[in-house]
Every structure is written in structure tokens, then in C-alpha cells.
Amino acid sequence: MITSKEIQIKLAEEIRNSQISQTELAKKLNVKQPAISQYLSGKTLPALDTFANLCKILDLNPAEILCLNND
């Protein structure tokens, strides 16, 4: 079973590995910078539309972030 913790870890890892600052990423996603910080700390997950845009901006495969390729 996939847990939200696993998703949070993968998402935070990909954000950290990107070359985009938290401030720049927040602007591109039209969210406030503390939201990005919360994604990194695992306190919250982005809303579905924000998640989709985040994957597009960072060129991520949503299936990998959602741990759907770990069968």
C-alpha cells in the first residue's frame, strides 16, 4: 500500500534536486513560498492541480512521485 509519507518523501526529493529556488517555484505555481517549504518538510501535500503543475514545471513523471512504478 502506498502511503502519503512515501509520496511526500519523493516529492520533496525532486523539489530539492531541481535547480529552481523555492521562491521561483512558488511564483510559477502561483502559491506562497511557505507552501513550498511545507511540501519540503512533509507537513502538507500540494492540491491536485498544484501537484499537476509542479510535475509539469519540474518535468516529473506523476506516476513515479505517486509511487505507482514501484510494483
Pair 36, 22: CB distance under 8 Å: yes
Angstrom distance (rounded) from CA 56 to CA 48: 12
Stated pTM of the model:
0.88
Tens digit of each residue's pLDDT (9 = 90 or more) over 1-53: 889 999 999 999 999 999 999 999 999 999 999 999 999 998 999 999 999 99
pLDDT of residue 2: 87
Task: Domains for the chain: give ranges and CATH numbers.
Answer: 4-65 (1.10.260.40)
**Three-state secondary structure readout of 3-25:** CHHHHHHHHHHHHHHCCCCHHHH
Instruction: Give yes or no for a contact between 33 and 57, defined as CB atoms under 8 angstroms apart.
Output: no
